[in-house]
Amino acid sequence: MKTRITELFGIQHPIIQGGMHHVGLAELASAVSNAGGLGMITGLTQRTPELLAREIARCREMTAKPFGVNLTFLPSVNPPDYPGYVKAIIDGGVKVVETAGNNPQKWLPALKEAGIKVIHKCTSVRRPGHRLRCDQRGRL
């Protein structure tokens, strides 16, 4: 199948695994990538940038296909070492980053300069003055 997504990311199927805390490890990301999708390592599942660098290296050992890293920017009094995580991603040669949470604008120049494609995941859409409500089956 050929789509804009498959061409943009160099994958066979237009399937992108989202970041999933505690399960977005090299095993899952490489399996998705080996199956033709775009696997994602969940960055903050790794407690430190050094551990993320190791997880990226492990994923490279498991697949020669493209994979990315999810990096969620959370509001926090004591934020994670985001500069360290971004450096680990860049130094690891990752070519796709999925961001989520807060606006990733602060980190975009470094990622873009490294030739990394950035996907920002928006989990909800808000319209001023409107509130979306779901029924009991989770439908809007």
Question: Counting Cβ atoms within 10 Å, is residue 86 exposed (0-12), middle (13-18) or buried (19+)?
Answer: buried
Task: Give the residue, 122 or 49, on which the prediction is more confident.
Answer: 49
Q: What is the pLDDT of residue 130?
A: 59
Q: What is the pLDDT of residue 140?
A: 46
Q: 3-class DSSP state for residue 1?
A: coil
CATH fold, domain 4-120, is TIM Barrel (3.20.20)
Segment among 51-55, 119-123, 131-135 with least mean pLDDT: 131-135
Domain ranges, ordered by start, for the chain: 4-120
Residue 76's pLDDT band, with cuts at 50, 70 and 90, is: confident
The pLDDT > 70 percentage for the chain reads 87
**Does pLDDT of 41 surpass 70?**
yes
* DSSP code per residue over 61-112: HH-SS-EEEEEEE---SS---HHHHHHHHHHTT--EEEEEES--GGGHHHHH
